[in-house]
Each structure stands twice: as C-alpha cells, then as structure tokens.
C-alpha cells in the first residue's frame, strides 16, 4: 500500500521540479513592485501567501473541496490542510443511513455534526451525502423483507429527518446515489425492488419539502463521459424536469483508474446536462493506479486531474470539484481495490504530488 521511502523521496524531488518548471515559486502577480526606497522594508515583509485551491477556484465562481471522515479528526496536520486549502467539504461516511439512523426511528447526528462544525469554523460549503443508497444501510433495514406500504414511510421519514436537521446548512444533497447499472437499467436496490422506479421522484419531492434551499442531486460513478449509464441519467433527469420534480443537479463521482483509460467526452457530457437545465458537480474525484506508483504513472495522473478540472471550468453550470479526500493517507481505495492506490493529489505524508501542481496550474495558480 505505501510507497517505499526512496520512491517518496524521488516524488518529492519530482514535485519540486514540476513546481519550479511551472513557475509556482515565483511571487504572485498581485505583489507590489519593490521601489528603491521601500526595498529594505519590502525584503523584511513576509512573502504574500500563495492562493489556496479553494481561493483559485473561487475566481472561476466554483468551489474546490475535499471529502473528509471522522477518524481523521485526530490528525492535526491533516486538519490544517483540510481547513485551509479547500473551500468545501463532504462527509465521506457520516451522513449515510447506517450512521444517521442506526436503529429504526432513532437518529444520531454526532459524526455528521462534527464535520459540519469543522466546515463552519473554516467557512466551507458542505455537500450532503447521501440520503438514499443501496450501500451502507443499517442491518435493521437490510435483514428483513419489506412491503411497499411498510418501506415508503420509513424512507420518507429518513429523508425528511436528516434533511431537516441540516436545513439551510448544506448547499446540495445527493438525494439518490448510484441508482443505475452500467447498462443504464435500474439498480435492483431494496428501494427499486419494493417501490418501483418512482422512488426517485418521491425521494426528491420529500427532500425538497424538508429543505427547499438545498439543491437536489442524483450522483453516480462511471457517468463522467458519454455512455449508456450517463444516457440513462440524461433521460431520467429530462423526464423528472418535465414532470416538475425538484431535481437541480447531477453529480459525477469521478472515481477514475489509470488502467481503464480516460473517459471520452467528459466536457460534452457536463455540457449536455447543463443544457437540460441542471447544474453539475464533480463530487468524488480520485484517480487510482495499480501500485507501485511510478513517476510516469503520477505524471499521467496529473494530466488526468488537470483535464478533468479543465472540463468543469469550461462549463458555467459546473459548480465545483470535490476530491474524495485529499491525501493518500486516508484514501478509501486501497481497502476497496486491493493492489491499487496513490489516487489523490497529496501523498501519504501530506506532501503535494504532481497532480496537485497540475490542478493549481489549471486553476490559474
Ligand atoms: C466510501 C467511503 O469513502 C469509504 O470510507 C466507505 O468504506 C465506503 O464508501 N461512492 C460513494 C461514496 O458515493 O459514498 C463511497 O465512499 C465511495 C464510492
């Protein structure tokens, strides 16, 4: 999972070289030119702080964020970067059903509130993730069978209790997560099987009642480019809008892997959803690779990050980019995809990788 020491040293050297090549060490253009008179004072004055990814993105009227998770809240160095570099955060697990309603009708917001408090203290926007998903459900929900009459009120109560708790505090809700299969058919989740495809419109309406100001999203993976799965979302969102259902956004998770190639048509895909009248967010970006990481793979990864961020910048209605955590130290990848990792722009020692510098450059830093 972890890189060898010599490899990390090599990467640090490589990062530094990329940084210098990109002119990142130069004084930002906003610095006052030093006059002869003020030269002494100027040289004593601290150098202007380089802009953060969040600040750079804001100039494009977008946010740049990172997911986070509660176990990481004991790591001061990690929190310092999370709170300073990013203008937005998403709780990686804390708002999921297993965490927020561990027993039927019994709600627990402790973990999610901890993330909300951090975000508030650091002036970060928060994306709510997620109200309805087939995964990470509590056992009381998955260990039995349900009739539609039984499940409907349970689903409504879950959505509305959680959305009400965070009313006015989250900018978006991923209301339904991962509703489709790769071929564009509906995923056979407990919600689909019990309630039929109409559960999606119901979920959106219930969430809107509970928090009318949060923008409501559908969110999925492998929908970055043009393919059968993103086509299915295109048709569904078009229909939902025609039916007057409150759908305002489409989330591209963006879990890419170098070995599968860069998805074709990301910008075109973002644009077609924008043209439907919804905004688009890049919600869970990471770009994994088969380990070990090599300078070559990390250079390709940097290009992919830059290209993906550029695709978002090219479409006005693409509102922001969220990394699925920012450091390889806390990435979910090694645990879920054995033998893969190194997916994020900071390494396991919280040092910026080539991808970080590539993103900065695209954002104009
Ligand atoms: C992941 C979390 O990061 C892990 O900690 C957890 O064990 C599994 O879920 N798509 C999603 C996210 O929508 O909620 C998932 O998060 C990653 C894939």
Q: Is residue 230 part of a domain?
A: yes
- Dmax (CA) of the chain: 81
Length of the chain (residues)? 365
Q: Is residue 34 part of a domain?
A: no
To 10 degrees, what angle do helices 5-21 and 354-362 make?
A: 20
Task: Determine the structural domain holding residue 298 and report its residue range.
Answer: 53-363
Rounded to the nearest angstrom, the distance between the alpha carbon of 178 and the centre of ligand 1 is: 11
Q: Is residue 8 part of a domain?
A: no
Q: Is residue 115 part of a domain?
A: yes
In a 13 Å sphere around the CA of 133, the CA atoms on its Cβ side amount to 24
Q: What is the pLDDT of residue 12?
A: 36
pLDDT digits (tens, 9 = 90+) for 56-76: 999 999 999 999 999 999 999
Distance CA 147, CA 109 (A): 28
- What tokens were used for 97? 């059903």
Q: Which residue has the tokens 């689909």?
A: 192
* Closest CA relative to residue 88, chosen from 243, 225, 251, 197: 251
Nearest CA to ligand 1 atom 7: 332
**Strand 125-132 versus strand 318-323 pairing type:** unpaired
Choice among 101, 178, 248, 284 that is catalytic: 284
CA of 129, closest atom in ligand 1? 14
Q: Is residue 24 part of a domain?
A: no
Rounded to the nearest angstrom, the distance between the alpha carbon of 336 and the centre of ligand 1 is: 9
- What tokens were used for 24? 């990142």
pLDDT digits (tens, 9 = 90+) for 151-208: 999 999 999 999 999 999 999 999 999 999 999 999 999 999 999 999 999 999 999 9
Number of domains into which the chain is organized: 1
With bands split at pLDDT 50, 70 and 90, how would you rate the model's confidence at 11?
A: very low
Helix (H) or strand (E) holding 363: none
Nearest CA to ligand 1 atom 13: 177
Question: Greater confidence, 198 or 40?
Answer: 198
CATH number of the structural domain spanning residue 73? 3.20.20.80
Q: Is residue 217 part of a domain?
A: yes
Kindly state the average pLDDT of the residues 10-21: 37
pLDDT digits (tens, 9 = 90+) for 246-257: 999 999 999 999
Q: Is residue 6 part of a domain?
A: no
> Which mutation among 332, 340, 344 tests ligand 1's pocket best, with the greatest number of atoms within 8 A of CB?
332
Neighbour tally for 228: CB within 10 Å: 14
Q: Is residue 162 part of a domain?
A: yes
pLDDT digits (tens, 9 = 90+) for 100-127: 999 999 999 999 999 999 999 999 999 9
* pTM, to two decimals: 0.89
Which residues lie across from 174 on neighbouring strands? Answer: 129, 217
Question: Greater confidence, 34 or 243?
Answer: 243
């Amino acid at each position: 999972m972890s890189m060898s020491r010599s490899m990390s040293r090599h990467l640090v050297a490589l990062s530094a070289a990329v940084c210098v090549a990109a002119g990142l060490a130069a004084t930002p253009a906003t610095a006052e030119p030093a006059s002869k008179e003020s030269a002494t004072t100027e040289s004593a004055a601290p150098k202007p702080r380089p802009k953060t990814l969040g600040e750079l993105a804001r100039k494009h009227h977008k946010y740049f964020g990172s997911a986070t998770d509660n176990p990481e809240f004991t790591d001061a160095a990690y929190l310092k970067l999370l709170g300073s570099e990013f203008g937005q955060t998403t709780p990686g697990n804390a708002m999921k059903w297993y965490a927020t309603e561990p027993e039927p009708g019994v709600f627990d917001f402790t973990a999610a509130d901890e993330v909300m408090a951090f975000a508030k203290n650091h002036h970060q926007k928060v994306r709510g993730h997620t109200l309805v998903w087939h995964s990470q459900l509590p056992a009381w929900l998955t260990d039995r069978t349900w009739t539609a009459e039984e499940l409907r009120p349970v689903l409504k109560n879950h959505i509305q209790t959680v959305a009400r708790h965070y009313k006015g505090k989250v900018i978006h809700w991923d209301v339904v997560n991962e509703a489709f299969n790769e071929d564009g058919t509906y995923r056979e989740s407990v919600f689909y099987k019990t309630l039929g495809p109409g559960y999606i419109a119901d979920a959106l309406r219930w969430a809107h009642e509970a928090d009318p100001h949060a923008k409501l999203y559908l969110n999925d993976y492998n929908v970055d480019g043009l393919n059968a799965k993103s086509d299915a979302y295109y048709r569904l969102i078009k229909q939902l809008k025609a039916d007057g259902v409150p759908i305002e956004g489409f989330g591209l998770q963006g879990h890419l892997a170098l070995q599968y190639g860069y998805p074709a048509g990301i910008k075109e895909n973002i644009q077609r959803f924008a043209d439907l009248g919804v905004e688009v967010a890049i919600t869970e970006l990471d770009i994994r690779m088969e380990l070990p990481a090599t300078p070559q793979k990390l250079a390709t990864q940097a290009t992919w990050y830059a290209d993906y961020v550029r695709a978002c910048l090219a479409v006005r209605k693409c509102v922001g980019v969220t990394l699925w955590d920012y450091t390889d130290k806390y990435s979910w990848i090694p645990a879920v995809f054995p033998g893969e990792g190194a997916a994020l722009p900071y390494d396991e020692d919280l040092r910026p990788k080539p991808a970080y510098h590539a993103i900065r450059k695209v954002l104009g830093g």
